[in-house]
Structure 1
């Protein structure tokens, strides 16, 4: 089970075919901010996407620092991966349609269970559709 980003990064590096990691950063808006965070309801809005090879990421802190240098308007990061073929990692162009799908999934609240989600503090987040 993936409980920290370092676990995900390790698993990605151990796969038989090279992986490209897909990241969608999103901000949250709570419908009722006074409710318990455990049962909070609200909306999630994508703010930016990026794809990277696992070798391009030192650790979660480095990923956060890079993301914040572009925009600090995010609360969660949704992560998926794309497998390469015959020892070749997928290209950024290969990742584009999958990043678009992630954006659509998060915006519509559909199929979000397929993504690993972390908050800014490297805590795994479980999101449920309304």
Structure 2
């Protein structure tokens, strides 16, 4: 059970194969065609569309904790709302090169933009897992 980012990190580091994490920081925005009710809900902290604002890839073993990751994130994106994470096994001797990482990251970002988020784990700014509808 993953309740917090650090739970995911612990599980990733316990896997037999190294885990490469793809992290996408998103910002909640109100679409221009929103209704008055949607605007009111958004002002109260609900709803909106999650728009990718920054992405990064890391080996799970390179992340010490959510606190360290969040501190690092503040340097390049001070305001974010939801972090989406997915992992990929890395076979021994088959490290991903920059082109492969860029292609995979593009695919991850496009999935989030299109709302295909079922296979991602999502977290709030405190590192708590959140379920999104």
Alignment of 1:98 onto 2:104: yes
Give the CA deviation at 1:85: 1.1
Q: Which runs of 5+ in 1 are unaligned?
A: none
| Residue correspondence of structure 1 range 46-65 to structure 2 within 5 A | 46-65=52-71
Q: Which runs of 5+ in 2 are unaligned?
A: none
2:123 corresponds to: 118
Q: Pairwise CA RMSD of aligned residues?
A: 2.2
Instruction: Kindly provide the CA deviation profile for residues 73-107 of structure 1, in whole angstroms up to 9, marking residues without a partner as x.
Output: 31111000111113654344432222111111111
TM-score normalised to structure 2 length? 0.83
TM-score normalised to structure 1 length? 0.84
Which protein is bigger by CA-based radius of gyration?
2
Give the CA deviation at 1:126: 1.4
1:82 corresponds to: 88
Change (3 A) 1:92 1:51: farther
Q: Aligned residues, how many?
A: 126
